[in-house]
């Protein structure tokens, strides 16, 4: 059985905090203003995975404002989501398609590192994670956004992401 999941996330940008996208620190004078590390790509990925199995969103698993999640590495969020999904039966993650919207800095030079970071986190093979970049054309200055779609095969393979 095929399942498609979709997730999105957005954060305001602020000076003095790091900009982390897909587990990669991006050289920028501004970063995501968030309770966790503010990684919009991994937050959207976690929500996409959860939506594929109708399991809510990351706010249910990691309620905002909790002291124990302050500054939380978003890779931990994705790992927790993968663990939750594996308890619902075997699945194989086929591919991830993501779009990150940010006016500045330009992210093209980071594409391969971002894709590799997400691919390694999910234990996927080469060519299974695509990340594209857009600007808001001035419609959302001071924000970073991500949208992610995942394709999974449920009920086959080992429980987990699989290759």
Tokens describing residue 103:
């006016």
pLDDT digits (tens, 9 = 90+) for 39-63: 999 999 999 999 999 999 999 999 8
Which residue do the tokens 């999640």 mark? 69
What is the dotted CATH code of the domain comprising 2-154?
3.30.1330.50
Helix (H) or strand (E) holding 45: helix 40-52
pLDDT digits (tens, 9 = 90+) for 97-147: 999 999 999 999 999 999 999 999 999 999 999 999 999 999 999 999 999
Helix (H) or strand (E) holding 121: helix 111-122
Q: In which band, very low, low, confident or very high, does the pLDDT at 157 lie, cut at 50, 70 and 90?
A: low
Q: Compute the mean pLDDT over every residue in the chain, rounded to the nearest whole number.
A: 93
Domain edges within the chain? 2-154
> CA torsion sign, 7 to 149 to 160 to 76?
negative
Is residue 78 over pLDDT 70? Answer: yes
Whole-model pTM?
A: 0.94
pLDDT value at residue 158: 47
pLDDT value at residue 125: 96
Is residue 162 over pLDDT 60? Answer: no
pLDDT value at residue 69: 86
């Amino acid at each position: 059985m095929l399942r498609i999941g979709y997730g999105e996330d957005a954060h305001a940008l602020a000076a003095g905090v790091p900009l982390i996208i897909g587990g990669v620190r991006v050289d920028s004078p501004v970063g995501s203003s968030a309770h966790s590390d503010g990684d919009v790509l991994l937050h959207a990925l976690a929500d996409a995975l959860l939506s594929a199995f109708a399991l809510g969103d990351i706010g249910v698993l990691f309620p905002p404002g909790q002291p124990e999640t302050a500054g939380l590495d978003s890779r931990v969020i994705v790992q927790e989501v993968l663990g939750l999904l594996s308890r619902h039966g075997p699945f194989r993650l086929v591919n991830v398609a993501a779009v990150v919207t940010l006016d500045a800095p330009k992210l093209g030079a980071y594409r391969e590192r971002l894709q590799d970071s997400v691919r390694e986190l999910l234990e996927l093979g080469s060519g299974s994670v695509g990340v594209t970049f857009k600007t808001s054309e001035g419609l959302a200055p001071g924000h970073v956004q991500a949208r992610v779609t995942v394709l999974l095969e449920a009920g086959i393979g080992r429980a987990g992401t699989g290759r």
